Amino acid sequence: MRFIGNKERLVDWIYSVIEKNNIKGELFFDFFSGTASVGKFFKAKGYQVISSDLLYFSYVLQRAYIKNNTYPTFNRLINNIDITSTFLFADNYELVIEYLNSLEGYEGFIFQNYAPTKTEHLEKPRMYFTDENAKKIDAIRIKIEEWKEKEFINEDEYFILLATLIEAIGFFSNILGVYGAFKKNWDRRALKPFKLKPISTIESQKEHFVFNQSSLDLLDKFKYDIIYLDPPYNHRQYAPNYHLLETIAKYDNPIIKGVSGMREYKEQKSTFCNKVTALRDLETICKSTNYKYILLSYNNEGLMPQDDIVNIMSKYGDVKIEEYDYLRFKSNSNGDAKFKKFIKEQIYILKRENRR
Ligand SMILES: C[S@@+](CC[C@H](N)C(=O)[O-])C[C@H]1O[C@@H](n2cnc3c(N)ncnc32)[C@H](O)[C@@H]1O
């Protein structure tokens, strides 16, 4: 999924750092979960995972990938709706996806507010989705909620379907990467007819716990072996940049404002987007005695200077830094051309002394 700071391509390196430094443990806290990429990887490796994020759509992904331990059966739903398949060997989940993909579009909140026809009166009519795709998204979102209300699907199945929808949105959005603005002209991806694709679930015998709150408030809840920190690296808050995913996940008809139709996000502001409060809260985390190791992902362009991070961490134990040259594609300041840039990805390792 396109998400700033998604560690999908770095998880193998993170794991190799853990192995190289002989870091052992069973309880892994994915403190800034985002797309849940890191939690997914460590769950599949056999760890017990705790994860949390301020964003609700992240919680939806965490529910589907981390907390849920089985492939969905949809037994109850299949007996309650009329599904016929064009695929010979489709399983129930695939049949449900096919059913949702074939729904007639509906003129709901997304169509009314984020597609051009109904926003024509605005100075800049919103072009996040084509009319047809917006109607499709509304129809699917409403159907998932209806099935939950009728108890045709259980909680796990509900979150798997919501996560399936959230994962699909980016492939049809007319944006440059984040939802803070839409493109002036239609991108090819936005013109394709909207379609869901099944997501993969991860089997596990362990109980995993996921949350939708500030992780700072979870420091005392468990005794962690590894706390993995992947905070925002700069001033940009995540909530406004992903407001549309949040609204589709919640589907709560929020009051929206401005050219991009943004929802209120004051409760979702992160203290890690400001140097002073980021350093203060990094210290709060390090000070806790409920962990063995902290692994902090950061890079050499982040808000918190390396010296300050090391000074804080070394009050609480031994600190080591591992580095990795990471090739990143960045938009230039006009947002169109792309150029290659090497960023130094870093992992700070803190081994806690005097653990409680
Ligand atoms: C760099 S991203 C994490 C990316 C993630 N590791 C991934 O692979 O997708 C930072 C995330 O931290 C979340 N966040 C910021 N402050 C937080 C806090 N105090 N508690 C929980 N999550 C927070 C943001 O919403 C965002 O999703």
Concatenated DSSP letters for 306-326?
HHHHHHHHHTSEEEEEEEEEE
User: Average pLDDT in the 333-346 region?
Assistant: 68
Mutate to test the pocket of ligand 1, among 7, 10, 31, 54 (most ligand atoms within 8 A of CB): 54
β-bridge mates for residue 227, sequence order: 29, 294
User: Burial letters for 260-283: b for 16+ Cβ neighbours within 10 Å, e otherwise?
Assistant: bbbbebeebebbbbbeeebbebbe
pTM listed for this prediction: 0.96
Q: How far is CA 324 from the centre of its chain?
A: 23
Considering only CA atoms, give the Rg of the chain: 21
User: Average pLDDT in the 275-290 region?
Assistant: 98
Give dist(CA 49, CA 26) in Å, integer: 8
User: Average pLDDT in the 319-342 region?
Assistant: 71
What is the tens place of the pLDDT at every residue in 173-232? 999 999 999 999 999 999 999 999 999 999 999 999 999 999 999 999 999 999 999 999
The residues, ordered by sequence, that sit 6+ positions from 355 with a Cβ below 8 Å of its Cβ are 289, 290, 291, 292
Give dist(CA 309, CA 307) in Å, integer: 5
The residue count for the chain? 356
Give dist(CA 250, CA 227) in Å, integer: 28
| pLDDT tops 80 at residue 314 | yes
Give yes or no for a contact between 190 and 129, defined as CB atoms under 8 angstroms apart.
yes
Atom 12 in ligand 1: residue holding the nearest Cα: 32
Give dist(CA 107, CA 135) in Å, integer: 5
pLDDT band at 356 (very low <50, low <70, confident <90, very high): low
Identify the CA nearest to 23 among candidates 50, 47, 51.
Answer: 47
Atom 13 in ligand 1: residue holding the nearest Cα: 32
What is the number of alpha carbons within 13 Å of residue 334 lying toward its C-beta? Answer: 4
Per DSSP bridges, beta strands 338-352 and 262-263 are unpaired
Give yes or no for a contact between 52 and 218, defined as CB atoms under 8 angstroms apart.
yes
Cα dihedral: 216, 221, 224, 226 (round 10):
-20
Please report the atom of ligand 1 found closest to the CA of residue 216.
19
Binding pocket residue ranges, ligand 1, CB within 6 Å = 3, 5-7, 32, 34-35, 37-38, 52-55, 58, 214-216, 230-232, 238, 270, 272
β-bridge mates for residue 294, sequence order: 227, 350
Q: 306-314 vs 275-287: helix axis angle to the nearest 10?
A: 20
Q: Distance from the CA of 120 to the center of ligand 1, in angstroms?
A: 35
User: Average pLDDT in the 136-155 region?
Assistant: 98
Please report the atom of ligand 1 found closest to the CA of residue 214.
20
Atom 19 in ligand 1: residue holding the nearest Cα: 214
| pLDDT tops 80 at residue 1 | yes
pLDDT band at 300 (very low <50, low <70, confident <90, very high): confident
| pLDDT tops 70 at residue 344 | yes
Please report the atom of ligand 1 found closest to the CA of residue 231.
10
Note the helical H segments in the chain.
11-20, 37-44, 56-62, 75-80, 92-101, 109-114, 131-149, 155-169, 188-191, 238-241, 243-250, 275-287, 306-314
Identify the CA nearest to 98 among candidates 80, 77, 84, 78.
Answer: 84
Per DSSP bridges, beta strands 48-52 and 317-331 are unpaired
